[in-house]
Structure 1
Amino acid sequence: MLEDLGKLGPVEQTIASARQVTTFLYAHTRVLDLMRKFLGKDLVRSGVTRFATAYLNLKSLLDNKKDLTRLFRSDELNDLGYLKKAKGKKANKVVRSEAFWKNVDMAVNFFEPLANVLRRMDSDVPAMGFLHGCMLEAKKEIAMRFDNDENSFKVAWDFIDKSSSVCERNWSVFEQVHTKKRNRLLHDRMRDLVFVKFNSILKLKKENKSRDPILKELNDVLEDDRNEFVTGVVPNANGGQEGDHEVTQVQGGASMSQEQAKRKRPVRPVKKKIRSLQSLMRDVSEPAASASSESEDNQDGDILMQVQSSDSADSEDE
């Protein structure tokens, strides 16, 4: 659901604009130190999936809107000189745009109710019994955030009704323990294995009770080399990555073509022997001639046998 919402035109454009701001702040050490000084923390956050990361970062931008605008208006950042460069000008323009902040608020209103459902499902509350009610509440909350204007939230409702139709969890602790390799376990042994495994799951949940299930735990956000809000490299639909600049794409394509040219060896065409028409006629005529000669020999032999038999019959009569 988050992925489908993230591919909407306005939401995707908002994510791209937000990425321009974060990559500028994290591309320079002095700018990054100044940003952490104004905010008192990191701006970028890493999620367990790409669009969970997008939601977390848009929410972080919205929560730190005042500090970010104060940072870009400060004399300390202007004195560094980075705002005069191309990336700095783009980031400064995005932060000062009220239309951008309205789009960020719109995207967060799409994402946040579903993210709350995801957090609820990963808690100690029995998930399947409350899933249907939580999804209905999320749909109502999305509608309320858009003032019940159906034209604004109808597309989000359609996405929710489409992913939720195939949601299913078909694994249990017993099915994980009782496999085909262990189908001869005794009842006491089986009960003990299920008891130990289920209690280990409860212990792990208790230790991670305060953990956000959609947030990836990292010592430093700079360690996440797949975070597009830090690197500026967007993963494409084919599993690869797309850069922000066309120059890198051209250079990358040239290097790939050179490597492919080195790996590919020239293939020599196979020369086929073309037989002449005379040789073909000779092959056809030779079996026919041999067959005719054999038939003539057989006929001569039959005539000779007949003559010999007639001679023997005459001698008997005499």
Structure 2
Amino acid sequence: MTDAWSDRKRRSIMNLCVNSKMGTVFLSSKECSDEAHTSQHIYEYVESCIQEVGPEHVVQIVTDNATNNMGAAKLLKEKRPKIFWTSSATHTINLMLEGIGGLPRFKKILDQAKQLTIFIYAHHKTLSMMRKFTNKRDIIRSGVTRFASAYLTLQSSTFWAGVALCLKVFSPLVKVLRMVDADWKPSMGFVYGEIKKPKKEIIDALGGNKKAYEPIINIISKKMKGRLDSKLHLTTYLLNPYYHYKDPQLQHDPEVMDVVLEFFDTLFAGDLEVQKQVVTIELPKYKKKMDRFGRELAVKACEVNDCDYDPTTWWGTFGGATPHLTKIAIRILSLTSSSSGCERNWSTFEGIHTKKRNRLDASKMKNFVYVQFNANLMEKNKKRKERNMEMLLANDSHTAQEWIVDCGDCDEDGVGIVGDG
């Protein structure tokens, strides 16, 4: 996963992290202030890191949906057609929330909520009174993106019916955002299946009123298309037994199956024997629940999608009769669907590049970040195992500035807000 950022001195830096089931690890950074972030430039940086890690270990590249990143994806496909380039699910869902928040009925509510919040926080007596009657709770809750902040802040408010309406519409999407933003569980196998649920929940929340829900559903579908419905997304959707066993008709869905066959055609290009083994022998065994796949324990083990459910463990237990397919399933179901871990790395850069240490060159900064970010990763993994840690919350108030002061879309330090655009 890779992302770009500008520090306080407006130096442009790109970084690249590696994700596995163990979490996200910082690998490399590159100062590119003197170079345009062209598709060619991004591709060359990613390609150099692929060579460092080893192409045989890389399944996908995850970035946001910027045009230059999509151009880099085309260049990579020409050289490495078996490595998939996917759009960050966190960024895509944030764009859905942004689009919905821009609809007139929701924008009015959000603007009113911001005005009220700014008024409360601008007057210390009012703020003190609010905290007194809410047991010292704050309205403002900083999220990792602007629209995550909007949701988290509205959730703290119960001032008028319009807020409740916003929550009913935003909440289903934010549930998915929480899932894809977290590092504690690989999310690739769940994105497509879970993003289908908010559509139904939003329709129900708006009482089935087509005029009310249609603009929202259209935004979700438009942002999803070409981003969260790729060959990788749909193949992991089918190979996740939680969805396959719950919906007997999934295996007969022509839209899903056509894309899954394209996936295997891409993955085994030039090796028709293995492709034939997987597509005509092993995949039907899984679809028809034959051999170990039909055992009662196999069915029970994937009934509930909770914190203990891991589709890769399921395949390792019950996929003995389909060795090729099992290897593929475990590999792609171990993938993340977002570049959030890479984006969170910028707070480490910001902490190291302070006013006292603003003369650090890029190589020294990279070394400092490598040590600190990866040490923090181990500590966060430990804390997440000990208690339920909310990843959607941010460590600072940059993303909540517009809820505190009337400053437009920029934060007070001029630092870019991750996930916008």
- State TM-score, norm by structure 1: 0.48
Greater share of residues in helix: 1
Q: Which has the larger radius of gyration?
A: 1
- State TM-score, norm by structure 2: 0.37
